[in-house]
Structures are given as structure tokens and as C-alpha cells.
Structure 1
Amino acid sequence: MTTKGEQTKARLAESMLELIQANGYSGTGLNAVIDHASAPKGSVYFHFPDGKEGLGVAAVELAAKQFGDLIAEASNSAGSPAVAARYAIEALADIVGRSNFRLGCPVSVVTLEMGAESERLRQACAQAFESWIAPTTALLEASGLLSAEARDLATVIVSTIEGSVIVSRAMQSTQPLKSAADVVAALINQRCQMAGERS
């Protein structure tokens, strides 16, 4: 059972995440986070003594977990890596579309805004991307790809998804994400077929 303090800390991280998605890292102030989370004043520095940077790291870690859970769900419910990738991308397209294109990937937002300013935030973002690349690599390896080949393809997949989220928001259309789903699925099928022919 979580304590009241733990619940407040979680609410603050969730609010920071939502506000970064909508307003960017630079556009998100601590007072806005406190108001959004309906948290007591002073709670930010109690739970995050290093202030906004620490709260930003917590938000990035939460985003990493959420998309990681989506990858795991897709992998467990799909019959192949291509189907899993399509499932994950289509789920993201639904989230972006339902938010009226206000919500995107907070990890890419923080990377672009703060990657050169805060080494701690850059590392948190790098770890988030790695937490998505690693299980995708494992899924591809299980389908017969060699380790290095699987890693390269997993990196391309995650990078493609990140880019298509940004383009979808700019164009106010989920078509870039849908196109990414088609191309990624076809690429995975092609590589897995080549691996099968090799073995």
C-alpha cells in the first residue's frame, strides 16, 4: 500500500509528464505542476530536493515505463515483431490524435530542449530510449536476427517512431504515424525473411 507521500510524489511526476507533453520542458513551471497535481506547496522540494531537474528526470522515467509497458503488451499479444510494432505505433497514433495533437513524446521534447543544457536530463533521455531499444532488439533476435542486426533495426524503429510523432503533431495528422507503421512492419518482415533464408 502506497503512502500519502508516495502518492503525492507520483502525482507530481505524472503532472510534470503531462505538462511537458503539452507545453514543453521550458514552458512548464513548478507552480503549474503543483496546481495540476493539486499538491501542497513545498511538496516539490520535499520529494524532489533538486527541483525542476529532478522532477524532469522523474517524468522522463515515467514516460519510459509507460511506453515500455506498451512495447511489452504489444510483444505479448502479437504473433510477430512486425505485428507488435504496428500495434505499438497505432496505439501511439490514437493517443496523439485523441489529444488533438497536443501530446507527443516527452522524452524527445526534453532531449531537444535540454540535452545540451543538463547532462542529468540527457542521460535520463538516453536511458529511456535504451529501455525501448533493448526489448525491441530482444524480440527481433528471438525471430532469428543476429544480435548486431537486431540492435541496428531496433534503433531505426524507435527513431522512426519518435520522428513520426513529431511530424504528426506538426501536420495535425496521424498519417505520418500510420505511414511509419506500414514501413516499419514491411522492413521487419523483410529482415526476418532474410534471416530465415540465411538459417
Structure 2
Amino acid sequence: MDTKSLIIDIATKLFQQKGYKGVGLTEIIKACDISKGSLYHHFPNGKEELLIACLQYLNEEITNDIVDIFNRYPTTQEATNAMISKLIDNFEMEGTLIGYTFSSMVSEMASLSDPVRNACAKLYTEMQTIYYHKLVADGFSNDEASSTALMVTASIEGGMLLCLTQKRAEPLQVISQVLPKILETRRFKTSE
């Protein structure tokens, strides 16, 4: 792994664990076992530039994983259940959802810059777009698919945050039981 990738990988984990404000550059430099000059060589604008790179990395990782899951299942319900099951399994094995959520990083968004906020918004938009296309393929109207994709995104992201704060998988387990019923109800509503 090259130095820039190493910095992004380690900083992403630290930001997810402690939030943006909870991690200093000195901690990142020490965890990466690099010099301050090396960090600034790759991220001349400092911590905010590094955070944006971490969000872009997460964007790619998370969206690739969602696309892979959604391509393997014929309906939104099946794909969503598989995705949530994977999150529950990871949470139960690891005790956390590091690598799948960036909620801890974006909870501080009100005080951060527009470039950082935009990087976060891009990931949420890409997630919703994946859900939207699958919902349209399931027969949802464009408007219904759009609003349902937003609801799915908010439910899953909120469920992950609740798992992390409660230190148990129950929130995602409940969502995995309730969300298919909501999707089915909305699908029937659309087809009427």
C-alpha cells in the first residue's frame, strides 16, 4: 500500500471512531508512522483535504458494495434485506460498523466547510440513486422511487448509528423486519 493510501485508510478509521474534531493530525501521523512532511506532501491543505479524501474513499467502497449486493438480487426487498443482514453480521462479529458508515464523521457537518459537506452529500446521493434505480426496476413510479430511496437511506443510516450508540444489532434487525413490509406496501400503492 502506498503512503497516500495508508494515510487515507488509517485516517478514515480514526475519523469514524472519533469524529473529525476528535482526531488531530499528530494522532494520524503517529498511527501511520510517517513524518509531518509526508502527510503534508500528500495533503498540502491539511486535515480538511484529508477528510475529503477519506469521504471519497468511503464513497467508492460503500457504493461498490451496495451495487454488488443490489446486482445479485432481483428485487429491492431482497437486496435491502441482504445488505442489512450483512451489516448486522459485521456488527455482531466486529462490535462496530467501521467501513460501512460515515455517520460519526458527518455528525459534525454543521461546523465544517462546504467542500466537506458536499463530499458527504455526494455519497448519500449515490446511495439513494442505487436504491432509486432498483425501485424503478421493481415497478415504482419515479416520484415514489425517489421518496422511497430517501426513506431507505435514512432508515439504514439511522439504524447503523443506533447500533453504534446502543452497542447492539437490534436497530438494524428491526429495520430488516419492517422495511420489507413498507416497501411492499408502497409498491402496491404505486401499482394501483
Same fold (TM over 0.5): yes
Residues 20, 106 of structure 1: 8 Å contact kept: no
Which runs of no fewer than 5 residues in structure 2 stay unpaired? none
Match of 2:64 among 69, 72, 75: 69
For residue 52 of structure 1, report the CA deviation from its aligned partner. Answer: 0.4
Q: Distance in 1 between matches of 2:99 and 2:22?
A: 15
For residue 104 of structure 1, report the CA deviation from its aligned partner. Answer: 7.3
Aligned runs of 1:7-46 on 2, under 5 Å? 7-46=2-41
Deviates more, 1:176-185 or 1:30-39: 30-39
For residue 112 of structure 1, report the CA deviation from its aligned partner. Answer: 1.5
Q: Distance in 2 between matches of 1:186 and 1:43?
A: 51
Residues 74, 87 of structure 1: 8 Å contact kept: yes
The reply to whether residue 145 of structure 1 matches residue 140 of structure 2 is yes
Q: Distance in 2 between matches of 1:102 and 1:180?
A: 16
Q: Partner amino acid for 2:67?
A: A
1:47 alignment partner in structure 2: 42
Aligned runs of 1:1-199 on 2, under 5 Å? 7-101=2-96, 103=98, 106-195=101-190, 197-198=191-192
Q: Distance in 2 between matches of 1:109 and 1:28?
A: 12
Q: Partner amino acid for 2:136?
A: E
The number of residues matched between the two structures is 192
Q: Distance in 1 between matches of 2:165 and 2:103?
A: 14
Using the size of structure 1 for normalisation, the TM-score is 0.88
Which runs of no fewer than 5 residues in structure 1 stay unpaired? none
Deviates more, 1:158-167 or 1:22-31: 22-31
For residue 193 of structure 1, report the CA deviation from its aligned partner. Answer: 3.2
Deviates more, 1:128-137 or 1:183-192: 183-192
Give structure 1 regions of 4+ aligned residues with deviation exceeding 6 angstroms.
Answer: none
Q: Partner amino acid for 2:102?
A: V
Q: Partner amino acid for 2:156?
A: I
Q: Aligned in 2, Cα 1:180/1:156: closer, same or farther, shift over 3 Å?
A: same
Q: Distance in 1 between matches of 2:105 and 2:18?
A: 11
Q: Aligned in 2, Cα 1:27/1:174: closer, same or farther, shift over 3 Å?
A: same
